[in-house]
Structure 1
Amino acid sequence: MQQILERLRQLTGSKYIQLTERGNNSLLIALTLVKDFLDKEKVLIQDQGGWITYKQYPKKLGLEIIELKTDHGLIDLTDLEDKADENSILLINSTPGYAVFQDMQKIQEACKRKRCLLINDVSGSIGTDTAKIGDIIFGSFGRWKPINVEYGGFIATNNDKYYEEFAASYFEEHKYDELIKKIEELPQRLEKLQEARKKILEDLQSFNIIHKCKKGINVIIKFDDDEVKQRIIDYCKENKLEFTECPRYIRINEPAISIEVKRL
């Protein structure tokens, strides 16, 4: 247990770590804290590239949801500065659609200027510096995540008062060994995913790939007609690559194929 907590401290840059049954449980703990303990009223979320419960949980808790403009998931910093204030929190997926990494340093600076609490979902960015920025950091160890135990999650912070107010959570002890194994294997897994992504980018360089010059995991390709769409699908089938079709809030809100590199 202590070995797990220490490794997660290193991966998140956070002093206080709490394991949970699911990443969604971690998010609920974070949102309950900001509503009941910090008296925040508004949750800012990206207009695409987030997660399903970003819209469900704040509504359930009676928090106002405000969407921010993005470039296919990447936060528009001007819109963030316009909408953020001391009564708001920014709930952000630092790897929107698993396809690109946010500039979390600039986002953090904007949040500090506006006194807006920053909650970073690092389910896809764990193992990178992007996962070390946020007032509260949380993630999932679910299926197809970089740490793919297919069970559990965590919530982390450097604020002792927040940590004391985290609701109690549960984690199966018999999963400890598997979790530490997956954490130790994370660098190799990320390297494998990057190699696969690099090949896909080279093979499909003539297509309209979203954020192709930036780092990411998944490869999302826009299409304008059924012929292009079918060519992308055929490539996926020939190379045994799983894919999903957009528009989808958790990827992008335009017609596209998301090649799910993270499932390899």
Structure 2
Amino acid sequence: MPPRRQYRTPNATQGMTLSLPPFTRGVIWLLAINLGIYLILRLFSLSEPTKWIVAGVFKLLALHPHDAVHGAVWQLVTYAFIHWDTLNIIFVLLGIWFIGSFLESAWGTKRFLIFYLTCAAAGGLGSVALTYALRASGDANLFFTGANGAILGLLVAIGVLWADVEFMMIPFPFMVRAKYVVAIAVVVDLVYLFREGGLVYLGEFGGLLYALVYVKLMDRSPGRKRAPGVYIGRGLSDKAFEPPAKKPSLLARWRDSYYRWKRRRAAR
């Protein structure tokens, strides 16, 4: 869902065009780690002698609520890098690329990565809390994987701070505002979660709630510069944002035209 971008050339007026978002540094790291782990797990699962490695990775890095409460706190973050479902990893990779590059360009790499990881951790905490609330912690087969909590957090950030930025709903050729993309993603995620296992998997919405609190508090911070609303640039390497120039009012244009006429007349 690439955002609508503003494209400027030296000899042209501002106009709107569609382009893919840039591959920023933090986004590249996240894409490489998520995709790399997914491919390695899939590859090792093809051979019987190496399947124990897959089981070991899931045991060590997936989020097991009982283990996390009893010392395996790293699982609150590492679970977000473990994926098995093909559709889920595609959703995660696209979300990191399209939404993550937008946020990283506006915030910087360090702040973006911290936000991503804390959203994932909040989703993990929500999953653990809901597991115990539903008294399902005794289920040894219950564990959580995937970066859905982190992706929901990214969506909330862009939906709140850049609500009117437009995205293309790939593969459909029409534009949708960011605030509506968030609603669509939440509905799709709810359907997917209930199809997979039900109420206990709603814990990943902890990432969404954390992101909402984060951006609301950030929005009220004194001296914070208001983030712009659109991309501007010429290629995939663009990393800067700039708000679109406001069109002057009719009265202002008339006044400017009058002053230009007076200057030309005085120059004769």
Bigger strand fraction: 1
Kindly indicate which of the two structures has a greater share of residues assigned to helix. 2
Band of TM-score, shorter chain: under 0.3
TM-score of the pair, normalised by structure 2: 0.24
Bigger CA radius of gyration: 2
RCO higher in structure (CA 8 A, sep ≥6) = 2
